[in-house]
Amino acid sequence: MEKTNFVDQIRIFCRSGHGGAGIKHFRRDKLTAYGGPDGGDGGRGGHIILKGNSNLWTLLHLRYFKNVLAEDGDRGSDNNRTGKNGQDIIIEVPLGTIARDEETGETEMEILKDGEERIWVPGGKGGLGNTNFKTSTNQAPEYSQPGLPGIEGWKVLELKVLADVGLVGFPNAGKSTLLSVMTAARPKIADYAFTTIVPQLGMVEYRDEKSFCIADLPGIIEGAAEGKGLGHRFLRHIERNSILLFLIPADSKHHQEEFRVLLKELEEYNPELLHKQFIIAISKSDMLDEELRKAISEELPGNIPHIFISSATGYNIQPLKDLLWNTLNTTAN
């Protein structure tokens, strides 16, 4: 398998810090032979915190970060002094990261904003010192609390790509070539299935120094919703895209059927994907004459915008950018 710097899923063992013990202590000094209780509370165990970082676009930096062990809280001390809290561990993740518990599969949080910090695995609470248990009938309590244990277990971080436009199509539909023409990205391009095995992101420079993000996603195949091919690894990334740009090659034998299969896979994976904005681009259109373009247009759904393009010649690339930009801004409003 080709080496890649794009890592979209990481499995980590996490353990938050144990809370420090509260102590049993009575005030004693040269002026006080039998003082009251003054045992301090234990410190809180360290949290494991997730923080969003817009400068990250992959989980690569966590590939060898397999054990995350937060610091324990210190025990309390005399004179009602609380123990030091355990040091928190902050894990920076790209926007669009989902945190899950591996055992239950439950989604625990999503990080969507730059600088957003959320406690993922909370540290154990520190125990109470004996000073907390003093009452009118028990002025010299002989007990204190131990700290609560931290939480430990295997966790999963999963990245869903945040992009304005996601390119959807069968392998070899020309998605990577289109991305290389529209952006400064340089994805691997070759004439065999699954050239793209991980998402490739690129920024499209638009008019008046505006820009938007487009993602070339791994090619979909029939059965992807059931996990065939790249399956769920592909489909989870398109959940974040505002617009889905379906790329269907002009030399396809059945344009309408190809689009139907793509829609079916999206619906089976997550029916909500059908509520996104769709645009159809017929790639490799430099080989078509007007009569063939008209015939293909009649095959396609009338309620979905479509455009004929050619990455090889640059035909209609700027009008495609205009269509995407206008659709994005219409959707946003």
Name the band, by pLDDT with cuts 50, 70 and 90, for residue 11: very high
Average pLDDT, the chain: 84
What is the residue-wise DSSP string for 157-217?
A: EEE----SEEEE-STTSSHHHHHHHHBS------SSTTS--S-EEEEEE-GGG-EEEEEEP
Report which of 99, 95, 89, 158 is spatially closest to residue 122, judged by C-alpha positions.
89
Crossing angle of helices 317-332/175-182, nearest 10°?
90
Q: Which SS3 state, helix, strand or coil, does residue 69 take?
A: strand
- pLDDT for 80 equals 93
Phi, psi of 99 (to 5 degrees): -105, 130
Q: Would you call 52 helix, strand, or coil by DSSP?
A: strand
Residue 134 pLDDT > 70, yes or no? yes
How many whole angstroms separate alpha carbon 57 and alpha carbon 4? 13
Fold topology of 1-159: Spo0b-associated Gtp-binding Protein; Chain: A, (2.70.210)
Confidence at residue 219, expressed as pLDDT on a 0 to 100 scale: 55
Please state the rounded mean pLDDT for residues 155-170.
Answer: 84
pLDDT in tens, 83-118: 999 999 999 998 889 999 999 999 999 998 999 999
Identify the pLDDT of residue 228: 40
Tell me where in the chain the CATH 3.40.50.300 domain(s) lie.
165-332
Residues 232-254 have a mean pLDDT of 77
DSSP 257: H
pLDDT of residue 262: 85
Instruction: Enter the pTM of the model.
Output: 0.67
pLDDT at 265: 76
Rounded CA-CA distance 122/76 in Å is 20
Mean pLDDT of 248-268: 86
pLDDT of residue 224: 38
Q: Is the pLDDT of residue 309 over 90?
A: yes
Helix (H, G, I), strand (E, B) or coil at 141: coil
Give yes or no for residue 278 having a pLDDT over 80: yes
CATH architecture of residue range(s) 165-332: 3-Layer(aba) Sandwich (3.40)
Q: How far apart are CA 295 and CA 134, in angstroms?
A: 88
Q: How many Å apart are CA 229 and CA 222, to the nearest integer?
A: 9
Q: What is the pLDDT of residues 26-76, one digit of tens each?
A: 988 777 767 789 999 999 999 999 999 988 878 888 988 889 999 999 999
Residue 20 pLDDT > 70: yes
Sign of CA dihedral 256, 229, 212, 186: negative
The pLDDT-based confidence of 237 (bands split at 50, 70, 90) is: low
pLDDT of residue 263 exceeding 90: no
Q: Which of 147, 121, 126 is closest to 43 using CA atoms?
A: 126
**Long-range contacts of range 173-177, CB-CB < 8 Å, 24 or more positions apart?**
173/219, 173/247, 173/248, 173/249, 173/283, 174/247, 174/249, 174/283, 174/284, 174/311, 175/216, 175/217, 175/219, 175/247, 176/200, 176/216, 177/283, 177/311, 177/312
pLDDT score for 152: 96
Region 117-128: mean pLDDT is: 97
Q: What is the pLDDT of residues 177-190, one digit of tens each?
A: 888 888 865 544 33
**What's the Cα-to-Cα distance from 71 to each of 1, 14, 117, 214, rounded to whole Å?**
38, 12, 19, 41
Residue 234 has pLDDT above 70, yes or no: no
Helix (H/G/I), strand (E/B), else coil: 320: helix
Residue 332 or 300, more confident: 300
Share of the chain above pLDDT 70, in %: 84
pLDDT value for 253: 85
Range(s) within the chain of domains with CATH label 2.70.210.12: 1-159
Q: What is the mean pLDDT of residues 147-172?
A: 87
The two structure tokens encoding residue 23: 């102590």
